[in-house]
Amino acid sequence: MGNKKTILSGIQATGNLTLGNYLGAIKNWIKMQDEYDCYYMIADLHSLTVRNDPEVLRKRALQVLAIYVAAGLDPDKNTIFLQSHVDAHVKLNWILNCYTYMGELNRMTQFKDKSAKHADNINSGLFTYPVLMAADILVYNADLVPVGEDQRQHLEITRDIAERFNSIYGETFVIPEAFIGEQGARIMGLQDPTAKMSKSATNLNDVIFLNDNPEDIRKKLKKAVTDSENCVHYDKENKPGVSNLMTIYGLLEEKTMQEIEKEFVGKGYGDFKSAVAEAIVKKLQPLQQKYCELLENPKELKTIYEKGAKKAADRADPIVKDVYQKVGLIVNE
């Protein structure tokens, strides 16, 4: 697409999406859709590393797609698709598995973390998850990948695999770079502001879901952890709860930390939490309305993901064909 750089990202089709998903990822994606050639997938294959109810997984995939569009991702400007609908991901995944070392995968901290959480289901898909992620990125020769700090390690192994393949077979893959927003790449929990807000949180007061109703949002904000100072001041190390709420408020209202501090001079946490809650409610109401409209129109969703899958395959298939040729497979013309 001209001289535009290519961006690839996605969100798993498990659990309800959170305010952290919106502020940390989707909100930034919307800003990119005119400047970059964007590929945004619903990562349903990655979702299989944990046991899912099949009907729930299919429902979640469509919900994530609806959130993408309702939040402002234009299907005409972005390639929006289901990961499982583009065969090239799986084809390249196997090839890259053969160029990835066990030692590299053993060092992946997310495998260790997830193994501890799912001790009864430590499967090989969980172990080789980073290779499929590498295939997701490299199959489009993505220049940039929007990642949080917790995903940087996966991007590094992607770069290592691509460089290794290129050194053996010649220039094949673009070496991707991380794209991290200046703010909001890591929205923390309301009850535990030292840990990332997670859609798999067991404490529902720790997370704002994008489909939460206004009253639930207000209740959760009232219970959000702060500190005893009753002073709205940004200090991530000593005031993690307040700093996290300031980050959320700043991203929603497009204000700097200094502007927020000035706004709440002489005001306590009650006023501040109420303002944050109302900012969230104001942002989510139109998104929720559009989301419900899309879910009530499955034909529109089907049109979007079918169009996206075709466009994604048109980009990915020639890259896989080139890889097959280089490693010695017979390629159908």
Give the Cα separation of 46 and 32 in Å (integer): 24
Q: Which listed residue (196, 239, 273, 283) is catalytic?
A: 196
Which residues neighbour 288 within 8 Å (Cβ) at sequence distance 6 or greater? 70, 210, 211
Q: Which listed residue (199, 267, 290, 326) is catalytic?
A: 199
The answer to whether residue 114 is catalytic is yes
Q: Which amino acid does the sequence have at 27?
A: K
Q: Which two tokens stand for residue 26?
A: 């989707």
The sign of the torsion formed by the CA atoms of 77, 83, 87, 92 equals positive
The answer to whether residue 196 is catalytic is yes
The answer to whether residue 4 is catalytic is no
Q: Which listed residue (114, 220, 273, 283) is catalytic?
A: 114
Give the Cα separation of 186 and 285 in Å (integer): 23
* N-to-C CA span, the chain: 24
Please give the DSSP secondary-structure letter assigned to residue 75: T
Could you give the residue numbers annotated as active site?
A: 114, 196, 199
